[in-house]
Amino acid sequence: MNSEISTRTCVFVRMLPATRAAAGMARRLTLGQLAAWDVPHDSEPADAAASVVAELAANAVTHGRVAGRDFELRLTLDRDAAVIRVEVSDARAERRPATPPVPPDGDAESGRGLLLVQALTRAWGVSSRDVGKTVWAEVALPEAR
């Protein structure tokens, strides 16, 4: 029997090191936190959110890394809006991803990640912050019945 969560909005925030291993760590943390919020591991929203987190975290450590600075993962589950909001913030403001993403050349080995983010989410974008930027995405949840 699933336990009823008393609040309609839940937030998880974690600072992670700007290392290559952190993208996988962020993905695992996301799946664990969503399961704690009764969004099952094998569900479409959990899979989509975990993939989006992995991509945005990989971008943060590859393109947004500033020596000595971590990046922030923020997950918000809003049951009323039927959405999981993913935010990954890094310290580099001058390297903002193109919105909408530009497809790479056919033989390019990278550059498709934000196309994946766009395909898995109902909306995504980039916001400025005091230091750096936040790339956010919204994964739809099934409507409550």
Distance between CA 55 and CA 97 in Å, rounded? 12
Report pLDDT digits (tens) over 20-46: 899 899 999 999 999 999 999 899 999
Structure tokens at 136: 């956010």
pLDDT at residue 53 is higher than 70: yes
Residue 85 maps to a domain: yes
Residue closest to 124 by CA, chosen among 95, 86, 93: 86
pLDDT at residue 72 is higher than 80: yes
Tally of residues, the chain: 145
pLDDT at residue 109 is higher than 60: no
Distance between CA 140 and CA 86 in Å, rounded? 11
Whole-number pLDDT of residue 74: 98
Whole-number pLDDT of residue 145: 44
Whole-number pLDDT of residue 110: 55
Structure tokens at 125: 């974008």
Distance between CA 112 and CA 41 in Å, rounded? 25
The DSSP secondary-structure symbol of 127 reads E
| Residues 36-52 as b or e (16 or more Cβ within 10 Å = b) | ebebeeeeebbbbbbbb
Residue 145 maps to a domain: no
Distance between CA 116 and CA 100 in Å, rounded? 12
Structure tokens at 47: 């899979």
Residue 4 maps to a domain: no
Whole-number pLDDT of residue 65: 67
Residue 134 maps to a domain: yes
CATH number at residue 14: 3.30.565.10
Q: What total number of domains does the chain contain?
A: 1
- Who has greater pLDDT, 52 or 93? 52
Distance between CA 102 and CA 67 in Å, rounded? 28
Residue type, 128: S
Residue 35 maps to a domain: yes
Residue 30 maps to a domain: yes
Residue 130 maps to a domain: yes
Whole-number pLDDT of residue 143: 72
Whole-number pLDDT of residue 93: 77
pLDDT confidence tier of residue 101, bands split at 50, 70 and 90: low
Q: Which ranges of the chain would DSSP assign to H, the alpha helix? A: 21-36, 44-63, 113-120
Domain that holds residue 69: 9-103+110-140
Whole-number pLDDT of residue 5: 47
